Chains A and B, each alone.
Chain A
Amino acid sequence: MKNLLELENVHTYIGQYHILQGISMEVPEGAVTVILGRNGAGKTTTLETILGIKPPSKGTVRFKGEDIHKLSLHNIVKKGIGYVPEDKRLFGTLTVEENLRLAERNKQDFHRERRELIWDLFPDLKRAWKRPASTLSGGQQQMLSIARAMINDNSIMLIDEPSMGLAPKLVQEVMSAVEQMKGLTTVLMVEQNLKVAESVADRCYILDNGMIVYSGDIKELVKDEELQNNYLGVTV
């Protein structure tokens, strides 16, 4: 399988803190790759480094074979990256429709198709179409945040802890959406919950203190309880 995204010996600082300490990572095309690890391990920072929100001080980030770590955030995104941030970051005063419209990049016909797909996936959003995003429930907001990243023909989706703060039933719904994406695009997802990750992931990485301590098939990890205890803490 071809690698869509590659990180090579990436170091990132936040202020004086050395958060990522030489991360190398490969995200194969068409698969779901999950980054696991405890709080503060550097998972979110990894996504933010790829996007250029927290540019790396050393190392390379390659997307479709092109170095992108020197570009600015909006130019990186335009290469075909959809981003679902940890705290959703919807625009609360904008309606559901406006939130999606803002995310659309040009190609009109494509977007009409995508809107219909999104309506099928998340019927709730269709019903709340003209309502401000701030009036949606937590689960609906997560759906809108995912839909916002799906509206474009992105080659990859970076999803940050989609299960956080959601009831189990909603987590399932969100995960089935991620499942649906599999056929359309590549996914790189940060997750803390191994059970949730297991249901969709093909490959996984474990981050600990800004370093990668495990990479491989997620099925292997599920069997290896020692590894789980060492790096993931108590599993659900």
Chain B
Amino acid sequence: MNQQTSLESAVFSMSLPLFMSLSLNGLSLAMLYFLIAAGFSLIFGLMSVLNLAHASFFLWGAYSGLAIFTTTGNFTLAVIGATIVGVIMGLLVEYLTLRPLYGNHLFQILMTLGLLLVFEELVKLIWGTTILGFPRPEILTGSLVILGRYFPVYRLFIIIAGIVVFIAVYLILNRTKIGITVRAGVEDEGMVQALGIDIRKVFSGVFGLGAGLAALGGVIGAPFLGVYPELGFEMLVPALIVVIIGGLGSFHGSFVGAVIIGLSQSFGGYFIPEFALAINVALLAIVLLIKPTGLFGIEGGH
């Protein structure tokens, strides 16, 4: 009772600067969720694979980025290198472990769950289990003063990077032939093939791109989240919630879903820290109850 009133007064007395600060925090988290959820959602939409190992690409993006950064000291190189590592991992996972199982959704899920475990254990084998710090690059340290509150430059960087990626992928999906092919494939992959297009190549491409985005999220999120073996799994669960809320297979759905979950995490975490995740689970239940296909989901489906 007492806690309730204090919570209410806290919400109503929230100052504009605090509101801004929490919003920006939430958005920076949202961009990381978006980077992991986008590929996850597209891969499911296109090939009906619930790729739980997608979180491993995020994890490996963080670790390989850290490895490159500590050897070269060059953050740009770390970002590019980690993304490439993600793309290569994605292509290998698709080619070696999922391609033999196309048409068998059950075994694909079983496979990706196993891969999630293997990649996490590999990280423990190579880098150990302690939390590693990822120093922020020089240019991105420091804070900006926004409405009288300090706001770390690095988080702004994450927000901008996320928005840039969103716009870039959005343009690819809507303006290029490849993008049209992917969107068509989400609807009816068989008909895409009947137009003379090799859908397997499209699968591989989307898998590689999606994995690259997740790895990019991992490397730019690392200085903010820290680097530890459970990082992938911890990102997987919000990503699952994001894609269900946004609609499985929908790219902009994953962006909107990520913003919702990021903000609820940030605000919820500030006012009722114990139940930040509970809010997300509640949001998930509400969406499943009211609009089960998600905000931007296509009706029907698999």
Contacts and interface: CB of A to CB of B under 8 A. Distances in A.
B193 A102 contact: no
A101 B199 contact: no
B1 interface: no
A196 B207 CA distance: 46
Interface residues on B, range: 10 to 19
Nearest to B197: A74
Interface string A175-190: 0000000000000000
Contact of A102 (B195, B198, B199, B298): B195
Given A92-B187, A93-B187, A77 B180 contact: no
A98 B180 contact: yes
Given A74-B196, A74-B198, A101 B180 contact: yes
A52 B284 CA distance: 42
B181 interface: yes
A102 B194 contact: no
B184 interface: yes
A75 B194 CA distance: 9
A89 B193 CA distance: 12
B195 A103 contact: yes
A12 B194 CA distance: 19
A83 to B, nearest CB: 5
Nearest to B179: A98
A103 B183 CA distance: 13
B302 interface: no
Given A77-B193, A85-B191, A93-B187, 8 more contacts: A53-B190, A73-B193, A74-B199, A85-B194, A91-B191, A102-B184, A105-B196, A152-B196
Interface residues of A, number: 22
Interface in B189-218: 190-199
30 contacts: A51-B194, A73-B193, A73-B194, A74-B195, A74-B197, A74-B198, A77-B193, A77-B194, A78-B196, A83-B194, A83-B195, A85-B191, A85-B194, A89-B188, A89-B191, A89-B194, A92-B187, A93-B183, A94-B180, A98-B180, A98-B183, A98-B184, A101-B177, A101-B180, A102-B180, A102-B184, A102-B195, A102-B197, A103-B195, A148-B195
A77 B195 contact: yes
B298 A93 contact: yes
Contacts of A98: 180, 183-184
B-side interface mostly: helix
A53 B194 contact: yes
Please provide the 4 A-B residue pairs with the shortest distance between their CB atoms, ordered closest to farther: A77-B196, A91-B184, A89-B191, A78-B196
A91 B192 CA distance: 9
Nearest to A151: B195
Contacts of A101: 177, 180
Contacts of B197: 74, 102
Contact of B177 (A73, A77, A83, A102): A102
Contacts of B188: 89, 91
Interface string B54-79: 00000000000000000000000000
A91 B194 contact: no
B198 A91 contact: no
A85 to B, nearest CB: 7
A94 B183 contact: yes
Given A85-B191, A89-B191, A92-B187, A102 B196 contact: no
A94 B184 contact: yes
Given A74-B197, A94-B183, A94-B184, A102 B192 contact: yes
A53 B181 CA distance: 19
A102 B181 contact: yes
Nearest to A134: B187
Interface in A102-130: 102-103, 105
A144 to B, nearest CB: 13
A102 B173 CA distance: 12
Nearest to A148: B195
Contacts of A94: 180, 183-184, 187
Interface in A36-67: 51, 53
Contacts of B183: 91, 93-94, 98
A103 B194 CA distance: 9
Contacts of A102: 177, 180-181, 184, 192, 195, 197
A122 B187 CA distance: 25
B178 to A, nearest CB: 10
A38 B190 CA distance: 26
B293 to A, nearest CB: 14
Nearest to B184: A91
A8 B298 CA distance: 42
A91 B193 contact: no
A163 to B, nearest CB: 20
A85 B177 CA distance: 22
